[in-house]
A and B are shown apart, each in its own frame.
Chain A
Amino acid sequence: MTRYVLRRAFHSVGVALTVLVLVFFVGRMIGDPAVLILPVDARAEQVEELRERLGLNAPLSTQFLTFVTGAVRGDFGVSFWQQVPALGLVLERLPSTLLLAAATMAISIPLAILLGALAVLNPGSWADKSVTVASLSGVSVVDFWLGLMLILIFSVQLGWLPTSGYGDLEHLILPAVVLAASPLGRIAQIARSAVLDEMSKAYIRAARAKGMSRRRAVFRHGLKNAFVPIITMAGDETTSVLNGAVVIETVFAWPGIGLLLIQAIQRRDLPLIESTVFTVAVLVILTNLFVDLAYAYLNPRIRYN
């Protein structure tokens, strides 16, 4: 078990370092920041001067060395745009992103599993079909449209919830519900098929032969084994919420990392791009590490291999 955890953790560090290298070189490919920061009619020597000041004239190898030695100590340099340490800007936004992601997954995962299990108890029934339709709708709905509709109903018409902003629990509800729609649909579909799969296994028949009802056999024995594919999908969905909440952050004026990244890219703010991408990458890596550890807990056969 310890060996498994260590191996996974070691693997994660390797991935993080790879991301660090990639983010540096991709950052240098998206265009000259100096040209973009200065006005369009800036003279060539002004551009040259700014490039010098931002350290962009040094050889690529020197830049890379400076970047890596700084990055491993948590120093990604000063944001071109805001003139403060770039990582600090990202970490400032981190709590709001994490809060939104956590709320989204806290809504979607339990509800999805419940719906999936409910559907399976009577396959082909009215309840089963409703779950299928609901989860398909969740996956297919366009998120910003759903966001706008909910704002229209709950904020404008009913006046129950604020239209946008960040601060209280009531600000969190609408964006989290909107973001939860797609993961809810996907995880419910996976949960349904995973539990259905387990139900046809011999150990469920054996559990019933021990003297329990089908329902009890499914909940006591089937669900834990069905959790492996469910956790995989939930992990994927979590990472996509961490990455791609930009549209919903914009709709609800939610000060998250996604919005910051877009702004950084628009301004060719290399230190800010690098620190944002790296932070998101670390979150994704941590999510995957957690999923790997969950596998080991759920499936004892993994622990010893």
Chain B
Amino acid sequence: MTHGREVLVEVNNLSVEFQTTEGVLRAVTGLSYTVSQGETVAILGESGSGKSVSIEALMGIIDPPNGRITSGEIRFRGTNLLTMPTTLRHRINGEHIAMIFQDALAALNPSQTVGKQIGEMFTLHRGIRHREAFQYAIELMNRVRIPAAAKRAHCYPHEFSGGMRQRIMIATAIALEPEVLIADEPTTALDVTVQSQIMDLLTELRTERNMGLVLISHDLGVVADVADRVLVMYAGQIMECGPLREVYRTPSHPYTIGLLNSIPNNQSTQERLQPIKGLPPSPVAIPPGCPFHPRCPSAIELCHRVLPSLEKLPGTNRASACHRKHEVLDNAG
């Protein structure tokens, strides 16, 4: 799908650690991916898989001394953000890379009108005065289809419904026409009907502005209709990545199979769901070898000892971190 589109974000071999009282927490290990113009990349995984931390690293909001990026680089249009002076780094956020959060109520300042919070993008980055910025905020609220925007801009976050609050977050994020939009579980806190409205709005904006969209989710169903590519994360590492259709149709990693089997499916109502047995490992005690081996139905002795590297599947755009990827793929096909 990436024919001639410019690569916007390039993450190479990123590792993030947190110092906790229980020891070093390895949140992300050796993560690499790219995001191009007009492309939607979904990062999938259970909670604690490191997907949110990888995004915090991208936004530059991991704080030393507890959180530390131990290796790797994050490039935006070729410039490494990790070696940038912090004062310049702040300016990238909002202007070039913007983000919307899972819980919009918590992510909005409770004591400021939403018009002011959206308008802050203009006062902060463009030095525009408050009154004028407020007018821009109303235009943006109209753009994300918030009814009676001129009146509602004077309201506080708690006076809106969940869906409307998420629209306010989106309006804020797209204010300065960023090249990359990151959405961290944007629909998790919403009703199913509102979920699809928000997803539709996001894809519409992505197409309209040719943005790169990074969608973080634990819900394979939500991203199925929107994403071009998926990264499946487990214990801070990529298990499998590639074009969404191919990964969903013929998964090449037992973990992906497990995730797909645990989605409710309308077509096969008589079959019982098959959740993955066991729990994800604690990030302070990731098992040796393949981190998924204690829960893996296809694990062999090698998996207990040797960490499989993420290797390309020949003749495809896909990669899998499984010692038995070919067998898994053959079984799936």
Contact = CB atoms under 8 A, between A and B. Distances in A.
B111 A205 contact: no
7 contacts: A202-B101, A208-B61, A210-B93, A213-B87, A298-B111, A300-B156, A301-B158
A303 to B, nearest CB: 9
A300 B101 contact: no
Contacts of A225: 109-111
Contacts, number: 71
Interface in A207-229: 207-214, 221, 224-225
B111 A206 contact: no
Contacts of B112: 221, 224
Contacts of B108: 203, 206
A201 interface: yes
Given A205-B61, A221-B112, A300-B158, A211 B107 contact: no
* Cβ-closest 7 pairs across A and B: A211-B94, A202-B106, A206-B107, A211-B93, A209-B99, A300-B156, A210-B94
Interface stretch (B120-128, B214-222, B250-258): B120-128
What is the size category of the interface that chain A forms with chain B?
20 to 34
Contact of A300 (B111, B121, B125): B111
A235 to B, nearest CB: 19
Contact of B124 (A203, A211, A224): A211
A213 B86 contact: yes
B199 interface: no
Interface of A: 201-203, 205-214, 221, 224-225, 298-301
Interface of B: 56, 59-61, 63, 86-87, 90-95, 98-99, 101, 103, 106-112, 120-121, 124-125, 156, 158, 169, 172
A276 B145 CA distance: 61
B99 to A, nearest CB: 4
A147 B125 CA distance: 51
A155 B118 CA distance: 56
Contacts of B172: 210
Contact of A203 (B95, B98, B106): B106
B124 A210 contact: yes
A193 B210 CA distance: 44
Contacts of B109: 203, 207, 221, 225
Given A211-B91, A211-B93, A299 B111 contact: yes
B111 A224 contact: yes
B129 to A, nearest CB: 16
Contacts of B95: 211
Contact of A208 (B59, B125, B169): B59
Given A206-B107, A221-B109, A225-B111, 10 more contacts: A202-B106, A203-B107, A203-B110, A208-B90, A209-B94, A210-B120, A211-B94, A225-B109, A300-B156, A301-B158
A210 B125 CA distance: 9
Contact of B110 (A208, A210, A301): A301
Given A203-B110, A221-B109, A212 B90 contact: yes
Contacts of B101: 202, 205-206, 209
Nearest to B94: A211
